[in-house]
Every structure is written in C-alpha cells, then in structure tokens.
Amino acid sequence: MKIYPALLALLMALCPLAEARKPNFIVIFIDDMGYGDIGPFGSKKNETPHLDRMAKEGMKLTSFYLASSVCTPSRAALMTGSYPRRVGLGKGSGHVVLFPGDPHGLHPKEITIAEMLKDAGYATGCFGKWHLGDQPEFLPTSQGFDEYVGIPYSNDMWTGLKRWKFPHLPILRGTKVIDQVKDMDGQADLCRLFTVEAVKFIEKNKDKPFFCYVPHAFVHGPRKARPEFMAKAKTVEEAQVEECDWSAGQILDAVRNAGIEKDTFVLFTSDNGGAGGLSSGPLRGGKGSMWEGGFRGPTVAWWPGTIPAGSTCPEMTSAMDLLPTFAKWAGGKVPADRVIDGKVVSDLYLGKEGAKTPHDRFFYNASNNLRAVRSGPWKLFLKGPLHNLEENLGETKNYASQRPGVVKRLKGLMKEFEQDLKKNSRPVGVAKNPRTLVPRPGVEGEEAYTPTLWIGKQKK
C-alpha cells in the first residue's frame, strides 16, 4: 500500500517511533583553579590546547559564579541548587570545611542533581573529590550516584599535613576503601585515576543518558603531577593545570569516539577561586576572598550543534543553575517543597538572541556570614565599598558616595536574604557515632578512628 508523504508525517507525529534522546551531562569541577589559569581566559603561561578547542567549539561564561570561595560550601550548592547556608553547609562542624570523620554532611533528605537525574532515567557516576561528608549516609552512593571512585575530602587532609592528626588519604570505590595515598607519587596519580574511571563510565553508558561528575583533586595542594607533565613545566602549578587540560581532552575524546558529542553537554569550571600560585587574571582576590577572584570560575560549556561555537556569555550564571537547567533538558523534576536558588538558564547556554540572566541578585557568603551582594553591575560589601563590575572589574574604585540610592537598594536585598534564610533553610545532616574511614597510623583500637576535630577534645 502506498502511503503519501503528508499522511506518513501525520502518522509519525501521532505515533512517534522513538523519543528524542535525552542529553548526557558531564561536569568537570577543578579544585582551586583560578579564573586566569587557562588559555580561553587569557593564560599565556599554561598550555591548554584541549580547553582552547573546547572554547572554540563551545561557549565561555565570563560571569559564572560558584556559591562559595572554599570547597565544601561550593560543592553543596552545586549538588542542591541552593546556597550553602540554606542546606546547613556554609561551613563544617568545627572548621571552614568538613574534616575526616566530621559528624556533619549533606543531609540525606536533600535532593541532589544526581538523584533528580537518576529519577529521570540517567546512569550517574562521580569520580574525584566529594567533600560533602565521609560517613556512609553522606557518601555519593547514598546521594544519587550509581558509581563512585574518589577521595572523600581534600587531598591535603592526610598525614603529610602536620598541624592536624590526619589518617592517610583514603581512595574509595562505592563505600569501600580500596587504597590509601601515603606519598606524593600517590598524590600525583589522582588526576589520571579519576580521568580513567570517568572515561570507563562514559564508554559503558554511551547508549543511554548519563550524568558524569568529575570533581578533580588537582590543583589543590599538596601539588605534584605525573612525570611527563612535571618534566616540561616550569612550576608544579603549570604542570597540574596542563594535566587538568589533558584530562578534559581525554573526556571529550571519549565522547567523540562514542559518537555522542551532539547529545552531550560538558561544563568545565573550578570550585572556587585560585589558591596560592594560581592566577585570577583580571580579577581581584582568590580562594577564600569575597572579591570576584574568589567566586568566578574559568568556565567553558560545550555541546556541539547546540551551543554556538566560539561564543561568550557575559550574563550572570551560577553553579546553582545546573540542577534546574539540567532538569529542564532531561525532563526531570525540580523539588517543589523547598527553596531552590538556581534558575533555568538554558537560553543563555543556547545563545538565544536577547537572552538575559534570570538573576537579579547574587550573594557572597563566608561560612555562615553574608558579606556582599551583586545586582546588575553593582556589588556592595556589607561593611565596605560599592563597586561597578562593568566599569571597574578589578574592584579598585568605590562608588558608594556617588550612588547612595544603589547602596540603599542593595542593603535591602541583603536584609531580605537574611530574613529568607531564617524562614527557608534546611538542616545539615548529622551522623551518629562518626569515625574516620581509615585509622591513624600508630594508634591502636577504636581511638585510631576518632574524628580529626575531636582529637584531644571532649567528644561533642
């Protein structure tokens, strides 16, 4: 029987033969890399050919914000789409970040990007530094990830850092410790290890939608790269940045080799501003500061055929936007029973003409304290100057005396934020009887597993 083209088109519209494939998501989250450390963001020191190509084929986001200028809070925001203070992780239980055996962690009732995507039919994998709690209920496999290979907290939380009594640095597969980092050669191998595991995950799941989260330990101290990178670099920072570029290249090649590049969104950024020895480029400050250099990441997005090649987005976006944006693209559900601070920014990533940021404010917090707010080009410190980031990106000129109306409005935004947090915050996760994952060397019995912050102190 002959079927005319118009009739065939109608039948296919009414009864589609196959659903359009959901996009894959890969997030490469470097630790402590500065805004000016890669070629697309102006570095002349570090050779980053893979990231250069990624930017040429994709988009640079020049006002992409992390929600904190230190590790744990930044990661909590990425996972939940919420400001760290809203989920109880503006800081650790007794330090600015979580420590080995810390009783605090990301609450099991929080809904992570991984859980949202898993519910939408995605395979989920995490390969690298977690730092959202090392007790069983806080680990990635309890927070929506099917697979996890990595370290549970920062790579400097090991016996090499003498001012704390740390155990060796554990490497986990799932919830099981499979190895321990005991020397600098072990530190140097972490980038390779996480990259290999990520590539395996991509290859294994190429025929179905997946979310691959790669939170590297590089370039956080203590720093060492593999010999082939150390041999050609002038500094260890240069070697580590270039090995991170190698890693991004391996991951992008895995996507290309699988033939799924037109179905895969890849984001490269850092968890916070650059630490010592790294570059903030044109920005003031770095890791731990409230200046732009503490909160903006060197961010590149790639999705061939969907994201405009060679494009730049200067609009304000945030790591918190990933959860709602991924949910829109994946057909996932954003939690409706809680405040989510991230916004859908798909039009910005897609380069739609005239698209503007949905954010009319962004808040800068240090631990559990609000320090500044940005609205449009204006940034006001709670106890300090008013800056215009369009006219003076380096934050060296104070406009407060010239713009009292702007100062008043931004102070009002900060007051609103504090009031909102009091009404709409969720509790931190608290583990009973916490213990470290591995024993401290030279200590016998259960005492060897005492949480680091409790050593020498009365149990809390």
Residue 5: its pLDDT value, please?
A: 46
306 and 416 inside one domain: no
Within a domain: 108: yes
At 278, is the secondary structure helix, strand, or coil?
A: coil
Each residue's pLDDT expressed in tens, for the chain with a length of 460 residues = 344 445 444 544 444 434 578 999 999 999 999 999 999 999 999 999 999 999 999 999 999 999 999 999 999 999 999 999 999 999 999 999 999 999 999 999 999 999 999 999 999 999 999 999 999 999 999 999 999 999 999 999 999 999 999 999 999 999 999 999 999 999 999 999 999 999 999 999 999 999 999 999 999 999 999 999 999 999 999 999 999 999 999 999 999 999 999 999 999 999 999 999 999 999 999 999 999 999 999 999 999 999 999 999 999 999 999 999 999 999 999 999 999 999 999 999 999 999 999 999 999 999 999 999 999 999 999 998 999 999 999 999 999 999 999 999 999 999 999 999 999 999 999 999 999 999 999 999 999 999 999 998 855 4
Q: Which range marks the domain in which residue 384 is found?
A: 368-423
Write down the pTM of the prediction: 0.95
Q: Are residues 259 and 326 in the same domain?
A: yes
Catalytic residue among 131, 216, 359, 387: 131
Q: Render the burial of 381-412: b for 16+ CB within 10 Å, e for the rest.
A: beeebbbbbeeebebeeebeeeeeebbeebee
pLDDT (0 to 100) of residue 407: 98
Q: Does 131 qualify as catalytic in the annotation? A: yes
Judge whether 202 and 254 are in contact, CB under 8 Å: yes
Residues 143 and 252 in one domain: yes
Among the candidates 407, 423, 439, a domain finishes at: 423
Statement to judge: residues 200 and 238 lie in one domain: yes
Q: What is the pLDDT of residue 457?
A: 83
Tokens of 375: 């609205």
| CATH value at residue 398 | 3.30.1120.10
pLDDT of residue 106: 98
In a domain, 220, yes or no: yes
Residues in the chain: 460
374 and 320: one domain? Answer: no
Other C-beta atoms lying within 10 Å of the C-beta of residue 251 = 25
220 part of the active site: no
Q: Is residue 9 part of a domain?
A: no
Cis peptide before 27 (omega within 30 of 0): no
Number of domains in the chain: 2
For residue 85 the two structure tokens come to 């203070």
- Residue 436 covered by a domain: no
Q: What pLDDT is recorded for position 19?
A: 57
What per-residue confidence (pLDDT) applies to 385?
A: 97
Asked if residue 399 and residue 311 are part of one domain, the reply reads no
Helix (H, G, I), strand (E, B) or coil at 301: strand
Tell me, yes or no, whether 447 lies in a domain: no
Residue ending a domain, among 317, 349, 381, is: 349
Q: What is the CATH number of the domain that holds 228?
A: 3.40.720.10
